[in-house]
Structure 1
Amino acid sequence: MESFKKLFDRFLNAIVKISSTKALVALKDGFVLTMPITLIGSLFLLLANIPINGYADFMANTFGPNWNVGLNQVSGATFDILALITVIGIAYFYAKNEKVDGISSGIIALVSFLVVTASSTMSEKGELVGSVIPKAWTGGQGVITAIIVGLISGAVFSFLVKKKITIKMPEGVPDGVSNAFTALIPGLVIILGSMIIYQILKIGVDSTLPELIFKGLQIPLQNLSDSFIGGLTITLLISLLFWAGLHGPNIVMGVMAPILTANALANNALLESGKLSVAEGAHIMTPQVIDLFVKFGGTGLTLGLLIAAFISAKSNQMKSISKLSIVPGIFNINEPVIFGLPIVYNPYLLVPFIVAPVVGFIITYGAIAIGFLTPFTGVQIPWTTPPIISGFILGGFSGAIIQLIILVLSVIIYLPFMKKQDKVLVESEANTSNE
């Protein structure tokens, strides 16, 4: 047992070190920058594709066959530039965390990304159209390239500025002008490097960096994340790390969110073609599976624990914590019960804290695989949306039913463990009152 504890401690220490690296911090912070745009785009995409039978026919009969072109234009203008926002955000936060000019870093990274990206595309008639920025590589398919370019640009920019390999302006020059000249040499180095990469790949293999990365890295990563084992691993790590006091969702999804988002955006294309199904190649694993089915009510599906406590808790501590935590829990905030009960490092609740999300994942994955639930697209809803409601918005009655089943099962899973914990608390309170 002692050797296992030491091994577990080493594992946690390694996770802490990895999650606190400059690269992962910038990646997590930078990707958060995409949230407002994806939420806005999700609203318009949802209005164009509300999951209710007959909705599309009703709208077409009422407003004409082109009733949704404006809605699709907005969703395309948001989701299709996800890589651009990502590269700016990552480079910006990398530099900002290094205490140098984040705005300049982000702009240079954006230019660098455009330099390594194709500037031409094929028309439907097979004609080569130049002087364009193909949306195929500025959306989900360019996310991995955006991450790499953002991190490298941010790191190089920060290094050169901190080493004072810049043009120094005299004192008294306005900050805006001074920052612009400070960014000249780092920007020249980064963009020159991007140009060399583009030149080599274009002449050598007639391709670009986003195309090569998409084929060689992003597709395999998406396929790996989309597997049952991949989803199960994500689910287990999120719960295990949070039980150990680390923010599992931030750590795991900081790395996996871009990949799962790319899965969701790939499903968008199938939705537009009317072929959104697993049989047609749709991805099962998307951010919604984790956020709204595996951990609604908070990591560990602790809403089930709170309901179980309302059913049969006898200790004052369990009753008080459940009363204080139930409203935040409904809105997917469970820190009060995680740290108030606590669940962190609590041996009585480790098993249900891991098992309940795993059961939720298995049910959701299976429901999508057999066609009961339609694979999720780029539609995102605010993470504080209560369960059942969020399930209905994303998946209609099927989504609400799946969430309800998972919630009931989570209560059943937590109940015996909650009773054991409650018994210990009752005994502790009795001993305290007798002293």
Structure 2
Amino acid sequence: MDKFMETLENVLMPIADKLNNNRYLTALRNGFMVALPFIIFGSIFVVLANLPFIDQWVGEEAWATYQDALGPASAATLSIMGLFVIIGIGYKLIEGYGGESIYGGAVAIASFLILTPQVTNFDLDGTVHEVGGVIPTNVMGAEGMFLGIFTAFFAAELYNYFVKKDLTIKMPAGVPDAVSRSFSALIPIALTLTIFLVVRIIFSFTPFDTVQNFIYTLIQEPLTALGSGLPATIIAVLLIQLFWFFGLHGQIIVNSVFDPIWYALNDQNLAAFQAGEELPNIVTKQFMDTFIVGIGGSGMTLAVILGIFLIGRSRQLKELGKLGAPAGIFNVNEPIIFGLPIIMNPLALIPWLLAPVIVALVTYFSMAAGIVPKPAGIIVPWTTPAILSGFLATGNSIMGGLLQLVNIGIVFIIWWPFLKIMDNQYYSNEKKADKETSNTGNRNVN
């Protein structure tokens, strides 16, 4: 076991270290964090606009009016979440270089809009009409996510390159600082946007017509199909657990790679849910966050806390349960990860790896069989307690909450024998320590 763990550590630690410190993955992760408040806001109103049974109480006309009134909340946030991510990536990347970060976000979004076709088609009485001067919202959501990410990276890098080359306008002393900074950014921004304009013109002469079509056809569609499959999901779950086992934040590392795929799948489900159509995807951002991470945190340690309360005899486990339970209810599990401990603990390795994989399989096939609704694309805040989060994530279905209960039971069963062994070890050590303390006290008295 020691040799196996040493081999795993030697292989994974360098990879994890490179991923965790990668400039672009860090900017990508932080870019999604910028978008998160808007995403959660929109998701809350999606839930409110689709509360069960209200349509039967108020009538169809009043129900339609109610949904129309709340609709702009999600349309202005979830439907165009890509814009917030693009601004966040550009901002954070330039911030990392120590530059004027606001211009990083601005040049990223402007570059993306230059590449975006400002035309849309609509069907009227069987005839397709083209309307110019408009930007389709779908390219700002799931379809445009990958292009937006790449555009933000390239735009920020180009802007930073031109700034470092000192291609800036220097204003004389006495000019207000805001004006001076604006003129300093003028040439780098102009050169960056010109490059993207040339790229747009070049693609207009290709069979793809737009960069969006190129990215979606050759990159995003295949990657999204891969990320929505069960094998890739299991690999992602295992990597999260392995990184955590060695003391690295597995979610941050793995999510930096998979989040663009999972969010795109989430957005597709949300669009179908709002349109009353069949949901296309099982694996989405909420599949991972609600039915795996959202049961006490990474590794679903809410079940571990339950096990501690039921079988714990040692003082160490009892105190750990008291400390970890309040945070664990809201999916914060660092007390358990570091206090049990799980990190570098050979006894914890098997249940730590096995339980999330089994739960992912059970969740996937429950949804594939139609027993539990697929995630509706509603972003549920990660601190939402289990059962409630499952109910909300599946479009207000009680089956989502019941599935989380089943998952807690599965994790509990898998962890039970390993917790028992740990508790016996801690209990035995405490008894031995108490005995030694007692003997020392008796000798001092004598």
Which residue is 2:440 aligned to? Answer: none
Distance 1:156 1:283 in 2: 36
Summarize the alignment of residues 121-136 of structure 1 with structure 2, pairs less than 5 Å apart: 121-125=120-124, 126-136=128-138
Which residue is 1:45 aligned to? Answer: 46
Which residue is 1:313 aligned to? Answer: 312
Bigger shift: 74-83 or 256-265?
A: 74-83
Which residue is 1:288 aligned to? Answer: 286
2:208, 2:214 within 8 Å by CA — same for their partners in 1?
Answer: no
Q: Tell me by how many angstroms 1:70 deviates.
A: 2.1
Secondary structure, in 3 states, of the residue corresponding to 2:423?
helix
1:43-101 Cα distance to aligned partner (Å, 9 max, x none): 11112223x4x443334347254431122232122122111111111000000111111
Summarize the alignment of residues 352-431 of structure 1 with structure 2, pairs less than 5 Å apart: 352-395=351-394, 396-431=397-432
Q: TM-score of the superposition, structure 2-length normalised?
A: 0.92
Partner of residue 229 from structure 1, selected from 228, 231, 246: 231
Partner of residue 176 from structure 1, selected from 175, 178, 200: 178
Distance 1:339 1:3 in 2: 21
Distance 2:399 2:39 in 1: 24
Which residue is 2:116 aligned to? Answer: 117
Q: Tell me by how many angstroms 1:431 deviates.
A: 3.5
Which residue is 2:321 aligned to? Answer: 322
Specify every segment of 5 or more residues in structure 2 that has no aligned partner in the other structure, as ranges.
Answer: 438-446
Which residue is 1:219 aligned to? Answer: 221
1:322-346 Cα distance to aligned partner (Å, 9 max, x none): 1100110001000111112221111
1:311-361 Cα distance to aligned partner (Å, 9 max, x none): 111111111111100110001000111112221111111111111111221
Q: Tell me by how many angstroms 1:363 deviates.
A: 1.5
Query: Which portions of structure 1, spanning 4 or more consecutive aligned residues, are displaced by more than 6 angstroms?
Result: none
1:59, 1:67 within 8 Å by CA — same for their partners in 2?
Answer: no
1:238-282 Cα distance to aligned partner (Å, 9 max, x none): 1111111111111111221121111011112322332224xxxx0
Q: Tell me by how many angstroms 1:158 deviates.
A: 2.3
Which residue is 1:301 aligned to? Answer: 300
Distance 2:429 2:208 in 1: 72
Q: Tell me by how many angstroms 1:139 deviates.
A: 1.1
2:308, 2:318 within 8 Å by CA — same for their partners in 1?
Answer: yes
**Which one-letter code corresponds to 1:303 in the other structure?**
L
1:49, 1:56 within 8 Å by CA — same for their partners in 2?
Answer: no
1:388, 1:401 within 8 Å by CA — same for their partners in 2?
Answer: yes
Bigger shift: 209-218 or 304-313?
A: 209-218
- Do structure 1's residue 139 and structure 2's residue 141 form an aligned pair? yes
Relative to structure 1, the CA distance from residue 7 to residue 407 in structure 2 (aligned partners, 3 Å threshold; closer, same or farther) is: closer
Bigger shift: 10-19 or 22-31?
A: 10-19
**Which one-letter code corresponds to 1:284 in the other structure?**
I
Bigger shift: 268-277 or 30-39?
A: 268-277
Secondary structure, in 3 states, of the residue corresponding to 2:120?
strand
What do you get for the CA RMSD once the two structures are aligned? 1.8
Q: Tell me by how many angstroms 1:180 deviates.
A: 1.0
Secondary structure, in 3 states, of the residue corresponding to 1:276?
coil
Q: TM-score of the superposition, structure 1-length normalised?
A: 0.94
Distance 1:178 1:71 in 2: 43
Secondary structure, in 3 states, of the residue corresponding to 1:403?
helix
Relative to structure 1, the CA distance from residue 148 to residue 36 in structure 2 (aligned partners, 3 Å threshold; closer, same or farther) is: same
Pick the structure with greater CA Rg.
2
1:330, 1:386 within 8 Å by CA — same for their partners in 2?
Answer: yes
1:158-205 Cα distance to aligned partner (Å, 9 max, x none): 233234332223344332112212211221221111111100001223
Summarize the alignment of residues 63-142 of structure 1 with structure 2, pairs less than 5 Å apart: 63-125=62-124, 126-142=128-144
Secondary structure, in 3 states, of the residue corresponding to 2:392?
helix
Secondary structure, in 3 states, of the residue corresponding to 2:88?
helix
**Which one-letter code corresponds to 1:287 in the other structure?**
K
Partner of residue 195 from structure 2, selected from 189, 193, 196: 193
Which residue is 1:264 aligned to? Answer: 266
Q: Tell me by how many angstroms 1:206 deviates.
A: 5.3
Partner of residue 252 from structure 2, selected from 245, 250, 253: 250
Distance 2:42 2:328 in 1: 27
2:80, 2:138 within 8 Å by CA — same for their partners in 1?
Answer: no
Bigger shift: 58-67 or 114-123?
A: 58-67
1:396-431 Cα distance to aligned partner (Å, 9 max, x none): 210111000111121111111011111222232233
Relative to structure 1, the CA distance from residue 3 to residue 365 in structure 2 (aligned partners, 3 Å threshold; closer, same or farther) is: closer
Distance 1:56 1:253 in 2: 38
1:87-142 Cα distance to aligned partner (Å, 9 max, x none): 11100000011111110111111110000111111122311111111112111110
Which residue is 1:346 aligned to? Answer: 345
Q: How many residues align?
A: 429
Distance 1:163 1:65 in 2: 56
**Which one-letter code corresponds to 1:42 in the other structure?**
S
1:265, 1:377 within 8 Å by CA — same for their partners in 2?
Answer: no
1:379-410 Cα distance to aligned partner (Å, 9 max, x none): 11221111011112223210111000111121
Distance 2:132 2:271 in 1: 24
Q: Tell me by how many angstroms 1:156 deviates.
A: 2.0
**Which one-letter code corresponds to 1:403 in the other structure?**
Q
Relative to structure 1, the CA distance from residue 14 to residue 266 in structure 2 (aligned partners, 3 Å threshold; closer, same or farther) is: same
**Which one-letter code corresponds to 2:15 in the other structure?**
A
